[in-house]
Amino acid sequence: MRHKFPISNFQFPVLLLLFFASCEKVIPIDDDPSAAKLVLNGLPVPDSRAFVYFAHTGFFLDPSTDHPVAGASLTLTANGIPYTSDSVSRCRYFFPYTVAEGDTLGIHVSTPQGDIYGQTYVPYRPRLTDIAVANRAPGTALRYYRALFTLHDLPDYREYYNLTVSVRDSGLRRNDWQRTIDTIDTVRTTYFLLAENPEITGSNSLVIPMMGYLYTRNLFLDSAINGQPCRIALDILNIVDTNEIPPFKHEYTVTLQSLTPARLRYLIDVSRQTSSGNFFTEQSQVRSNLDGALGVFAGAASSSFSFNPDTLR
């Protein structure tokens, strides 16, 4: 009599063993200190103290993030006036100057490894008026809010806008957290770039659940609305978690940022590199607008308003 082996009892474990016995192994790779490069990051915004981050790149398996550069001298030029760095903390170099809208800024770093140069300007804050927020679905558990506001675009001035929504959430089940946005979704950006109608309307797809968080970002040019008031409507998903144990609080913040072209390119590059991090695609390089270093030196200015959904009717 022949024996019968049910697949789940005999072949299956063998197959699994064969498939997964040796699928992964660690590749030894050593750091090469000579390959370290200089990095300078500076994102000046109005009414903030000017500072830049200046350091070496680190080995990717090294958990420490700050790699100071010895013997560096940093000078910030604001509207033609030089300011020397007066304090340093964790590779952050501070200058005795408060950034203002319309500033023209330059950075010069002198190091034994060479000099670094960069320059930018600081845009004007977007002017937002007629702000109104309403609950679009009172009495329902999982619906969304509509935020309305008017953007007054500056005439004769090419502007790149980054629209973000963040939510601050505090409750017993979640730690207090807040997300701000430093990347854009280039796919969704198309929606706005192609918008011909001055009335820009987002939908609930604007809110993107990622990695357990909810946030959104959108980018658009002023080419369709140059110099005209533009009414923007955003439908924002209510993220109330009915399993959450009170007391809890949600505070939504809508931010509109005016970007310099270098800041725009930086956002796009960072987004591309982040989104290319899957198994099958390669990472892309984040381009620098500096001479002599990786990083970015680019201004931005933003306006925002917040609302608490608990207060809405």
- Within residues 128-167, the interface with another protein by CB under 8 A covers 136-137, 140-141, 143-144
Query: Is 266 a binder of another protein (CB under 8 A)?
Result: yes
- Number of C-alpha atoms within 13 angstroms, CB side, residue 187? 5
| Residue range at the interface with another protein (CB under 8 A); choices 16-24, 72-80, 117-125, 150-158 | 16-24
Closest CA to 231 of 300, 153, 143: 153
| Residue range at the interface with another protein (CB under 8 A); choices 33-41, 103-111, 149-157, 305-313 | 33-41
**In the complex with another protein, which residue's Cβ is closer, 221 or 294?**
294
For the beta carbon of residue 241, count every other beta carbon within 10 angstroms. 14
Looking at residue 122, the DSSP 8-state letter turns out to be -
Query: Is 284 a binder of another protein (CB under 8 A)?
Result: yes
For the CB of residue 235, give the shortest distance to another protein in the complex, in Å: 9
Query: Is 32 a binder of another protein (CB under 8 A)?
Result: yes
Q: Which residue has the tokens 């300007």?
A: 121
Which positions from 86 through 125 interact with another protein, judged by CB under 8 A?
89, 92, 94
Which positions from 39 through 68 interact with another protein, judged by CB under 8 A?
39, 41-43, 45, 48-49, 51, 53, 55, 57-61, 63, 65-66
Which positions from 167 through 186 interact with another protein, judged by CB under 8 A?
173, 177-180, 182
How far apart are the C-alpha atoms of 24 and 27, rounded to whole Å? 10
Residues in the interface with another protein (CB under 8 A) total: 71
Handedness of CA 178, 102, 228, 269 (dihedral sign): negative
Type of residue found at 46: P
Asked whether the beta carbons of 283 and 289 are under 8 A apart, the reply is no
Two tokens, residue 154:
């500056």
